Each structure stands twice: as structure tokens, then as C-alpha cells.
Amino acid sequence: MSHRLLALHALLAIHVGFVAAEKAAAQTEDWPSWQGVERTNVSSQKGLLKEWPEQGPKLLWIYREAGNGYSGPAIVDETFYTLGTEGEQEVLIALDVATGRPRWTTPLSPILSNGWGNGPRSTPTVHDDHVYVLTGIGELVCCTKDSGEQVWSVSLTRDLAGKKPNWGYCESVLIDGDRLICTPGGSEGTIAALDRSNGEVIWRSTGFTEGAQYSSVIIAKPHGTKQYIQLLQKSIIGVDPDNGDVLWRSDWSGRTAVIPTPIFFNNHVFVSSGYGAGCKLVKIRPDNTVEDVYLNKNMKNQHGGVLFHEGHLYGYSDQVGWTCLNFETGEIVWNDKDNDVGKGSVTCVNGQLYLVGERRGVIGLIDASPNGFALHGQFTLDPKSEIRSPRGKIWTHPVVLNGRLYLRDQDIIYCYDISDPRVARK
């Protein structure tokens, strides 16, 4: 082969490599369920603005017809899925991510009626070709991802003998392989595993019958062995994924409502609840016995969520403010109540926290750092919902995906451009 031909081959290889790199950089990620792929509410996506302009990031689109509800988004294959209301029904809504235009809606069940706000609370779960949703009254429905056509439905109360908690079913169901995991509560077993293809029961945790609360199940692998972990009013439990047997249980003194999702790290489980309950860290031993590492009031998180990032926990603690805890000790590293955001929800992306103030809709950007509350921009949602219950607030959690920030206030869904054009996303 001639030197010229060799050089051409080398140039072609370099070009192909550049094209492949550009395609990889342009690829989008998915957010298929509550708190993302691994239910940690932490993302490593890059290429985002580290500081916001004074007026806030650019608003790309608004969708104004979502109806009542506190459901968050699942975003897969350029489609935004959420739950809302239309007429007298709770519905599954599919929007085009690029424009916010509706693709379709599917009726699911009658609307949950509640003084703090009517409508659905849970986030859809997208897996393969289907979307799995749980309505406020407990109707569990499987729909096709592309058209919203119903495939099957199961009632957590009528079919699974569950009891709807006071503020309605809020759990976002978990898909694990061919199984759907949910928490109907009740006399036939707190947790249920269903065949996700048809909704038939595979097992119930018959030896454990505590009622459902508002938290969502996570998958964990303490000492390399998979189990499901759930937080309830009186218990933190680990469940055998093969048969629903309770592998371990730890007491929890939840009051009124237990909502935040458990956090698993390094064979430990952290939980928190509001209404004065506080927080707790539990160590799981190889034989599935457990011990309390600490129990204190430093993190009393009602429903805005707590997340783990690089050895620390971040969230809003009632009477304490935005708080950073040392994960291992439970000690407060810093707290801040002197800010415009106030109490609210949070997500973590590439080392920064996106905060959503529940009362006035102030959105803030700070570092996920033990060094303190350092604000890098804020703005206020505008317009705000006019159909929200006077007792309800802006409780839908934020989601950041592919350079965009998604927020919701009842019937209004907002999409903001937070990408930094100077930096590649990956």
C-alpha cells in the first residue's frame, strides 16, 4: 500500500472518530421514573450553566393544560410523561420534549379528592415499550409508550386489598426486570410484586402487613445481594426480591405522613420524615441483622426530598432550613434559613443543587458542597397556577435532563434552557 493511501486511511479513521465522538456527545439521556434511573435524584450530566443570568435561564416552552396534581415527569425518547386531570378523570399526558405540544392523553381513573389538592401524586415509570402509572385513588395502569393505549389495570384497593392512605397513593412504582413492585399495604401483604406484562400477582409480603405510606421502593445491594427497601410509618424494611419475605426491619417513629425516598449507600440506609420525626441511619450486616448508627432531629424532611452526594446529605429540614449533613455521623455541616427560596424540593446535577421553593416558586441554584449555601442564581416562576388549592403549594420536584430544567405548578409545566453553549454536555 502506498504512503499516500496509508495517509488517506489515517485521515478517514480520524474523521470517523470525530464523527463518533460528536454523535456520542449529542446523545440524550433518559429519566425513566421517579428520581431517575437509580432513584438517587443525582445526575452527572455536564454542559450546564454554573451561574444563571439575573433574569434566570431562558424559558423554552409552557404547557398549561396539565390539570390538577403533583405528578413529576418521566422523560424517555424525547417524550415527557406525567399525570394530571382532564374533566372528571386522572389522565396520563404525553408531551413533545422539544416543543411542549401534546401528543396524547389517556384517561385512567376518577380523580382523587383531597383538601390539599386534588389529582395524582406519583410519577410515571417508563420501561421498554410501556408506561406504568398509579393514580391517587390506587388504580395501577399499564399503557403503551407510543400511543397511551391501556394494556391492563389493577386496583390496589379492590384487587390487592390495599388501603388508600389519607392523602392518596403517592408511590411511583418500581420496575425490576419482568416485575413491577408496589406498596398497596393491607392484610394480604404490604408490598406486592406483579408480572409487569399482565398485572398478575407474583408474590405478596404476607408476613408483613403494615399500611402503605407515601414513599417509593428502591433497589439496594447490601454486601452484593439485591433486596427492596421501603419506608413506612412504623418501619424501615428490606424485602427479599424472590418471594417478598422481610429480610430485616428497623423501627421508625414516623408521624402523620412518611414521604421521602430511602437512601442507600455502602451497606447503610438513611431515612427522614417531617412532622418532627427527624432522621436515622441504619447499618445492614451481612446476615441481614441491622443496627442504628444514629437517630436525631437534624434532618426533618417533610416531602421535598433528601439526596446523597459525595459523603453528605442535602435537603430542607423543618425549623432548620436548607441543610447539609455528614452522612456517617448525622451531624449538621451547615444550615441556611436566610434565603429567598425557603422550604422546598431539590435535585442534584453535576455537583449543583436545583432548589424549588414551595411557597413563592423561587428557584435557586447552589453548590452541593459542605462549604455552605452559595447561591449562583435564582428566579421566580411566572405565571403561577390559578387552580391550585389554597392549602396546597408548589410540591412537584424539579427534573434536569439534557440541558433543560423541568418544573410544574399544577396545570402549568415549564421548560427552561440551562445548557451552557460553551461546554459539551458529556
DSSP string covering 309-340: ETTEEEEEETTTEEEEEETTT--EEEEE--SS
Half-sphere exposure of 348 (CA within 13 A, CB side): 19
Q: Above 80 in pLDDT, residue 27?
A: no
DSSP state of 424: -
Q: What are the tens digits of pLDDT across the range 215-244?
A: 999 999 999 999 999 999 999 999 999 999
**337: which residues sit within 8 A by CB, 6+ positions away?**
320, 321, 322
Q: What are the tens digits of pLDDT across the range 372-399?
A: 999 999 999 999 999 999 999 999 999 9
What percent of the chain lies above the pLDDT cut of 70?
A: 93
**What is the pLDDT, as a whole number, of residue 422?**
86
CA distances from 60 to 50, 186, 336, 399, 400 (A): 19, 45, 31, 15, 14
**What is the pLDDT, as a whole number, of residue 28?**
76
**What is the pLDDT, as a whole number, of residue 209?**
97
CA distances from 397 to 21, 35, 260, 393, 406 (A): 33, 9, 12, 12, 9
The span from the CA of 55 to the CA of 315, in Å, is 25
The reply to whether omega before 383 is within 30° of 0 (cis) is: yes
Q: How many Å from the N-terminal Cα to the C-terminal Cα in the chain? A: 38
Look at residue 413 and give its three-state secondary structure. strand
**What is the pLDDT, as a whole number, of residue 425?**
57
Give the model's confidence band at 346: pLDDT under 50 very low, under 70 low, under 90 confident, else very high.
very high
Q: Indicate the range of 19-33, 116-130, 332-346 predicted with least confidence.
A: 19-33
C-alpha cell at 169: 397513593
**What is the pLDDT, as a whole number, of residue 17?**
39
**205: which residues sit within 8 A by CB, 6+ positions away?**
189, 190, 191, 192, 239, 244, 245, 246
What percent of the chain lies above the pLDDT cut of 90?
A: 92
Closest CA to 345 of 363, 327, 333: 363
Q: Which CATH class is domain 32-417?
A: mainly beta
Q: What are the tens digits of pLDDT across the range 184-208?
A: 999 999 999 999 999 999 999 999 9
Number of Cβ within 10 Å of residue 370's Cβ equals 15
CA distances from 111 to 160, 185, 334 (A): 20, 21, 41
Contact (Cβ atoms closer than 8 angstroms) between residue 262 and residue 215 = yes
Q: Which helix (H) or strand (E) holds 408?
A: strand 404-409
The span from the CA of 325 to the CA of 298, in Å, is 8
Give pairs for 351-355: CB < 8 Å, separation 24+. 351/309, 352/48, 352/50, 352/376, 353/314, 354/398, 354/400, 354/405, 355/322
Q: What are the tens digits of pLDDT across the range 237-282?
A: 999 999 999 999 999 999 999 999 999 999 999 999 999 999 999 9
Give the model's confidence band at 423: pLDDT under 50 very low, under 70 low, under 90 confident, else very high.
confident
Give the model's confidence band at 286: pLDDT under 50 very low, under 70 low, under 90 confident, else very high.
very high
DSSP state of 3: H
